[in-house]
């Protein structure tokens, strides 16, 4: 399994199994958390399904109802609005196909700015670069030095 | 995903018990692999939303680690595979702490169950706040290693 015999076949088989797992997950994922456009396109099929919307814009609000837009899909949500009109929100809700509308289970406002997320991404890229450079320093540029150090136990 | 610094620390701390630095590097690379594979599928291969979730499952981690270990020299490959897998599994556990309203971004039991699992301890928008804690942990690990005289120059 870990030898060099049939290396190419092992590589191909590994890639094929990863791809198949991805296709399977893709198929199953749509059943668990369908996209908003999908539930709107087939309201009867998805009636009663709980959906999680990671990001949407709150475009209008009443006391116990509000409207959200995600991509090009617009939908009414039953429940108190989590923030003022214009907020970026995330919510989990049950889809009702008869109206169609969502019944909010949980909703919260996302930070207006993506600054934190951007900072996180910059930190991540820096860490990845640092680890990669360290790896190259040890294994690509000075392999002999490393082997000598291992032999003498330093 | 939490930031890669948090993932790095999550693998680096238990990695102090790994004596072979080559294996330690593979453990750390293993903890990056699920995100590298997932982002590669989204950004490079332009796969659908759920195609890449398989990289955040136990089966996905084992498969991706096996693929990655094939690029390691043969004498190191078996141990390398276990280190990459251990790193990937640490990644999955760390990703479980995020609060995605109970939906979970980690689906550990694929292909047997596609349900997401999460502990919901931290808002994904706030994971950057982990960085100072991570830095303190890293400093503690480096100090400990120096004390134990296990840092090789």
pLDDT tens by residue, A93-106: 999 988 889 999 98
Three-state SS at A77: strand
pLDDT tens by residue, B45-83: 777 777 888 889 999 999 999 999 998 888 889 999 999
pLDDT tens by residue, A45-97: 999 888 888 889 999 988 889 999 988 888 899 999 988 898 889 999 999 98
Q: What is the pTM of this model?
A: 0.80
Show residues of chain B in contact with A32, CB under 8 Å.
Answer: 114-116
For residue A91, what are the CA distances in angstroms to A71, A75, B147?
15, 13, 49
Q: Is B40 on the interface with A (CB under 8 A)?
A: no
Strand partners, A51: A93
Q: Is B9 on the interface with A (CB under 8 A)?
A: no
Task: Fill in the DSSP letter of residue B73.
Answer: -
Structure tokens at B55: 């990289």
Q: Is A31 on the interface with B (CB under 8 A)?
A: yes
For residue A134, what are the CA distances in angstroms to A140, B22, B40?
10, 11, 22
DSSP H or E run through A95 = strand A88-96
Q: Which of A18, A29, A119 sits opposite B114 (nearest CB)?
A: A29
DSSP H or E run through A74 = strand A73-78
Interface mutation target, options A13, A108, A115, A124, chain B, most CBs of B under 10 Å = A124
The ipTM, to two decimals, is: 0.75
Compute the nearest-CA separation of B123 from chain A (Å). 10
């Amino acid at each position: 399994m870990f030898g060099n015999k049939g290396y190419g076949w092992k590589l191909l088989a590994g890639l094929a199994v990863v791809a198949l797992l991805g296709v399977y997950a893709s198929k199953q994922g749509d059943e668990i958390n369908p996209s908003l456009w999908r539930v709107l396109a087939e309201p009867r099929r998805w009636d009663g399904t709980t959906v999680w919307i990671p990001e949407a814009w709150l475009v209008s609000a009443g006391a116990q109802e509000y409207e959200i837009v995600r991509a090009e899909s617009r939908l009414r949500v039953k429940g108190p609005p989590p923030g003022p009109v214009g907020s970026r929100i995330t919510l989990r809700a049950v889809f009702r196909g008869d109206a169609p509308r969502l019944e909010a289970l949980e909703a919260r406002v996302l930070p207006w700015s993506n600054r934190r997320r951007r900072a996180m991404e910059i930190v991540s890229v820096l860490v990845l670069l640092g680890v990669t450079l360290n790896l190259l320093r040890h294994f690509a540029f000075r392999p002999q030095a490393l082997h000598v150090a291992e032999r003498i136990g330093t | 995903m939490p930031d890669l610094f948090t993932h790095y620390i999550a693998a680096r701390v238990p990695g102090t018990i790994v004596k072979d630095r080559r294996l330690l590097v593979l453990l750390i690379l293993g903890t990056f692999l699920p995100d590298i594979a997932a982002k590669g599928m989204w950004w490079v291969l332009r796969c659908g939303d759920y195609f890449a979730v398989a990289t955040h499952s136990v089966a996905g981690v084992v498969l991706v680690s096996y693929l990655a270990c094939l690029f390691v020299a043969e004498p190191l490959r078996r141990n390398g595979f276990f280190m990459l897998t251990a790193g990937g599994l640490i990644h999955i556990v760390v990703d479980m702490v995020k609060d995605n309203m109970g939906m979970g971004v980690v689906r550990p039991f694929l292909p047997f169950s596609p349900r997401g699992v999460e502990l919901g301890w931290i808002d994904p928008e706030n994971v950057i706040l982990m960085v100072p804690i991570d830095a303190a942990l890293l400093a503690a690990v480096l100090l400990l290693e120096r004390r134990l005289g296990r840092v090789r120059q």
